[in-house]
Each structure stands twice: as C-alpha cells, then as structure tokens.
Amino acid sequence: MDLASSSIKQGFEKYSDYGLLICGHSLGGGTAVIVTLAFLYDSSVSSLLPEGTRIQCVALAPPPVYRWEDGHNRCDWFIY
C-alpha cells in the first residue's frame, strides 16, 4: 500500500465522489480480496479514502482468503 497510497489519495482528491472497485482473477482475485479487507478493516489503509467511499470487490476464482481473530483458531470472517 505504501507504493500506491499517493496515487490513491491523488485520485480521490480529483474524483472525491467516486467509489472504489477492486477486481482480480485467480491469484489476483485473492489479492483483490486481501486489499479490499485492508480497506475495510485496517484504519491506516482506510484513511486513504474519503469518508463514506463505497468499496466493492469482484474476485473471480480466488484462492481461499481468511483471517484468524486475535491469532486464535476461530475465524471471524471467511471468503472463498
């Protein structure tokens, strides 16, 4: 995200009423899911977007992507 943050900020400064669509296929689909989740759950990443920005993800044939809650063997969300 460090490399893309300035481009994201510049894009939303110019087009502040736009939403964000992240998409990918196969391994790129898994990456799209991870990036989308970062925008949704990581405050340092979500701060790159204007308040209320609509975020959507289209992932075609992604590998399983999940997050363990607090490092325990319990999944708080699971997407595949």
pLDDT tens digits, 29-39: 999 999 998 99
For 11-26, b where at least 16 C-beta lie within 10 A, e where not — what string? ebeeeeeeebebebee
pLDDT tens digits, 16-56: 899 999 999 999 999 999 999 899 988 889 999 999 999 99
Place of tokens 């899911």: 33
Q: Where are the domains of the chain?
A: 20-79
CA distance 18 to 30: 24
CA distance 7 to 73: 37
CA distance 47 to 9: 10
Instruction: List Cα–Cα distances, 64 to 36, 59, 78, 79, in angstroms.
Output: 14, 11, 8, 6
Q: Average the pLDDT over each of 23-27, 37-41, 59-63, 67-71 and give the range with the smallest value.
A: 67-71
